[in-house]
Structure 1
Amino acid sequence: MSTAEESTTYYHFFVVASVYVLKALNGIVDEPYMDEPFHVPQAQAYCRGEFDVWDPKITTPPGLYILSTILKRIFLLKCTLPVLRLTPLLTLIFLPPVLTLLLAFHKRIRAPPIFPPFANSEATILASFPVAWFFGFLYYTEVPSLLTVVGTVVAAGNQRHWLAALLGLVSCAFRQTNIVWVLYAFAAGALVQLRFQRAVSDVKVSEKPSSKGSAQLHDPLALEASIDDLLPLLRSIPRSVSTLLRTFIPYSLVLAAFAAFVIWNGGIVLGDKANHVPALHVPQLYYYFGFATALGWPVLVGGGDNALDLAREIKARMFGSRRRVLVTAAISALMAVTVHLFTVHHPFLLADNRHYTFYVWRRVFMLHPLVPYLLIPGYIACAWAWFLRVGHDQTLLQTLILPACLLPTLVPTPLLEPRYFLVPYILMRAQVKDMRTWGLVAEGAWYAAINAATMYVFLCKEREGVGRFMW
């Protein structure tokens, strides 16, 4: 069997297994659960054509309900709970082919045709990432949001900026914070364009030494960069931005539409504003890298360097010289201050014992007052591990734009939820280019084990007076 045939087999198994799981879930969880009691009646109102009806407890835009209404009109379906759950399932099924295009973009290889849908094994494994896979079976916005964000990045990376802007606008109809990922898509596509132009300019200069070449962005390879590159990089940005103004026009229209929405709405949150007040929650960044490492450890150890080599490199980056020791100590001290001043104990996190984060928070972070501070060196090591894995064959800016986008998406969010980490994790994991076969097998097996355990607990271990456990 050829590699393409094997990949197709994996994808077909993914589709069949997902359909089977949804059927089992609908047979057991036959009433709306958790957030579904808000989403389902709202979708049913849209299906009846009552577009002026809106539940003020809903915090996200109506993209999910509009998509379900469109599917209802096309296929003449009824908007019952099992049928509505087909909406996220369909987006989950289309996720591996779109992730295949994203992986091809980062690996700079020829992308496969979109039709008929094709997904390679790595993309199928990535689509089974536990948080994405789990919410593909409930009437939530997570997977449709993820799919449109990935499509936006793929279109921008292929210099199809008007299509990227359109997909980005659609993504914002599922989640408002996706406006940040629209800008990420523009930046990712722009940096690829600038890197290509720089390579062409370098060839011309080598052929004609007298030529001065065009103004270039100073953007060294990530793993070769040092702090001395920071000032030249900042100085070179204005010279490069002018060449991208025309490219930015489609995205500026999306920004304008988003700004108009915020002015009309009086803020970013659509409803239930009392329980979703933005806060300065800096430790969210630290939780993200801890979460990414806990769930994505096979990605870290399954690449070009083995686990011991990666550990040695992390140690060298943190403590390899007196200068690095001082920098690590200064960063640790700053992080300790932010943990002390900006840790948020959200009422939902403390009260809702149907989420795994409830138990992680109580049994780890609240075990002792020193625990949040003792975890700081681990957060730094996790961040370095992902930088080293993602930074292979990428420039410094290509590697850092995603962590920069974490600031506006995570820091204002007071509630600790794995769902908020989903989009950045998928986009970060897709940048890893050198996964070995055994690493992919380990990643797939790890995700499968988590998925089996969490879905089994959700379906078969309901506790009286508590409910079903979920992400």
Structure 2
Amino acid sequence: MPKEGDISSEKFHQELEQDIKRNVEFGFLFNLLSWPAVAIITSIVFYRFNKNVVPFAFIDEVFHLGQTVQYINGNWKSWDPKITTPPGLYVLGWIQYKLLHGFVAWSPLTALRLLNLFGGLIVWPWVVLRPLFLFSAVKFWPINLMCFPLLFTFYFLYYTDVWSTIFIVESLTLAITLPFGERKSIWASALCGLVSCLFRQTNIVWNLFVMIIVIERRALIQRDFNNVHFNNYLKLIIHSLENFHQLVLPYALNFMLFLAFLAYNRSITLGDKSNHTAGIHLVQFFYCIAFIAIFSAPIWISRRFVRGYLRYTLDHPLGLVFQWLGMVILIRYFTRAHPFLLADNRHYTFYLFKKIITRNKFFKYLVMPASYHFSIYSYMSVMHSNIIHFHPILPIEIKSPVDLPVQLTHISWTALLVCTFITVVPSPLFEPRYYILPYIFWRIFVSGSPESYLADRIVELTGVHRLSREFLWFALINVFTLTVFAFKPIVWQTESFPQRIIW
């Protein structure tokens, strides 16, 4: 005769299965129906922007457009010394222009901007995100990440961010889903990682992250990871050495090519080295985590979560004091105000920095450390609740990497933190575009909380109700930023056209 506990457990698992099935079906339907609407609206806005709002090259587009036109004209040896990134975008723009030339009567700028619109509305959600979504349908929705505000803005402009993101995240997608079989998929993943570096050099750091994912998803099965973390690190290293040619070599070639580039160029920056010298901008990490916490708020925030944070601070008063003092010291000695930040009011960071972050000493040394502390707690708590935990003795039952859940272990979680730190801290600029990949790689591996926003109860076991709020949150931010961009022009005496505010 079954015990009461067994019945309760069986009922719970039945409810969980039904909840997952219902929410997966809803997620597929929502993405299928909402994508055409978002794509049509975005395309209309794109048309209006190109016709009436910004029919001219805007900020960095001046350099990107000029270099691509040089390639279109056959001047492949020409290079603008003001450009700091590799020529991946310009080669892709050359291909795009050659394909469309003669078929549409658009200006070169509009034709080149269409490259990012196509990438953002077609390639990004359907080619890159959809396979991951099929593997983990209750973690994220492709439509949401398609509408991620820091990336969405650049669907309308000719910048490097869209395709840089597409190629490096596709490297992760191939590494997890293995669509071409294990060996070919890993080499394809490494190739996409290499191509991504032709759009942004710092993507070499994310090549390392993807490589660790590849090794880890095999080592944890074949080496039987357990709850002894140091032991798992040793197993990962041993597994990578014993399987070097299959797992490490494809990415190691990328690292070797990157080192050759550094030796040749003598810097990670291609041009304009005087204004883009690497440094130690530690507060940039606080900015990045704060942005991630704000954008991800719909998936984690609740009354219970806030109460948990308050309990944590009250239970560790001495630790809180030392953490606060540490942040104050870092803010005092490692805040960098780049001349571009202070002089260019066409970016939201100009207003954030002057009006909030450094408004006065009260904001700088009390309000901002408190917000950073809460943001870090949010980031770490959400990630910690989503990592794979291992049994101290029993091996994992899954026998194939492709059958593993889209989750991180304590090793890849640490790697994500380290890669985020390495990516953002050396940059002297307070630049939200640098937070796109730290957010995307974090968001793919975490799930929405099942808790109610205001009540202390579980609403849905899979937390899919939060994904719809996330979509609305991103839509609201995008509507706001696009409205400001379109209807709040700025007059610069040195520019012939009205200027606009972007991220």
* TM, length-normalised to structure 1: 0.84
* Distance change in 2, residues 1:410/1:43 (3 Å): same
Partner of 2:125: 96
Shift of 1:8: 1.6
Partner of 1:387: 380
| Map 1:201-280 → 2, pairs under 5 A | 201=224, 216=225, 220=227, 232=231, 237-246=236-245, 247-280=247-280
Partner of 1:312: 307
* Residues in 2 aligned to 1:279 and 1:131: alpha-carbon distance in whole angstroms: 24
Partner of 1:406: 420
The aligned amino acid for 2:337 is: H
* Residues in 1 aligned to 2:48 and 2:358: alpha-carbon distance in whole angstroms: 36
Residue in structure 2 matching 1:350, options 314, 336, 342: 342
Partner of 1:20: 44
* Residues in 1 aligned to 2:376 and 2:284: alpha-carbon distance in whole angstroms: 13
The aligned amino acid for 2:381 is: L
| Map 1:43-62 → 2, pairs under 5 A | 43-62=68-87
* Residues in 2 aligned to 1:152 and 1:59: alpha-carbon distance in whole angstroms: 23
Shift of 1:379: 1.5
Partner of 2:4: none
* Residues in 2 aligned to 1:231 and 1:56: alpha-carbon distance in whole angstroms: 47
* Residues in 2 aligned to 1:74 and 1:379: alpha-carbon distance in whole angstroms: 47
Q: How many residues align?
A: 426
Partner of 1:225: none
Partner of 1:439: 466
Partner of 2:17: none
Q: List per-residue Cα deviations over 1:228-286 (Å, max 9, x = no partner).
A: x6655555554444344230000010111111111111110000101001110001111
* Distance change in 2, residues 1:190/1:329 (3 Å): farther
1:451 to 2:478 alignment: yes
Partner of 2:438: 424
Partner of 1:224: none
1:378 to 2:405 alignment: no
* Residues in 1 aligned to 2:93 and 2:220: alpha-carbon distance in whole angstroms: 41
Partner of 1:138: 157
Report if the CA contact (8 A) 1:284-1:410 is conserved: yes
* Residues in 2 aligned to 1:405 and 1:356: alpha-carbon distance in whole angstroms: 25
Report if the CA contact (8 A) 2:86-2:270 is conserved: yes
Report if the CA contact (8 A) 2:448-2:466 is conserved: no
Higher mean C-alpha deviation, range 173-182 or range 436-445: 436-445
Partner of 2:202: 177
Q: List per-residue Cα deviations over 1:401-450 (Å, max 9, x = no partner).
A: 21110121111001001111111111111112246333122111111111
| Map 1:81-92 → 2, pairs under 5 A | 81-92=109-120
* Distance change in 2, residues 1:309/1:121 (3 Å): closer
* Residues in 1 aligned to 2:298 and 2:42: alpha-carbon distance in whole angstroms: 23
Higher mean C-alpha deviation, range 384-393 or range 59-68: 384-393
Residue in structure 2 matching 1:362, options 345, 354, 357: 354
Shift of 1:378: 2.6
* Residues in 1 aligned to 2:417 and 2:161: alpha-carbon distance in whole angstroms: 20
The aligned amino acid for 1:23 is: Y
Report if the CA contact (8 A) 1:44-1:79 is conserved: no
Partner of 2:402: none
Q: List per-residue Cα deviations over 1:364-411 (Å, max 9, x = no partner).
A: 122113423322233222122122222334122232221110121111
Residue in structure 2 matching 1:63, options 88, 95, 107: 88
Residue in structure 2 matching 1:168, options 193, 214, 231: 193
* Distance change in 2, residues 1:392/1:195 (3 Å): farther
Residue in structure 2 matching 1:73, options 98, 113, 120: 98
Residue in structure 2 matching 1:415, options 418, 426, 429: 429
Partner of 1:206: none
| Map 1:332-351 → 2, pairs under 5 A | 332-351=324-343
1:34 to 2:59 alignment: yes
Partner of 2:459: none
* Residues in 2 aligned to 1:367 and 1:434: alpha-carbon distance in whole angstroms: 34
Report if the CA contact (8 A) 2:298-2:466 is conserved: yes
The aligned amino acid for 2:145 is: L
* Distance change in 2, residues 1:102/1:10 (3 Å): same
* Residues in 2 aligned to 1:232 and 1:331: alpha-carbon distance in whole angstroms: 29
RMSD: 2.4
Partner of 1:207: none
* Distance change in 2, residues 1:239/1:108 (3 Å): farther
% identical equivalent positions: 32
* Residues in 1 aligned to 2:434 and 2:218: alpha-carbon distance in whole angstroms: 29
What is the DSSP-based 3-state SS (H/G/I as helix, E as strand, rest coil) of the residue aligned with 2:244? helix
Report if the CA contact (8 A) 1:286-1:379 is conserved: yes
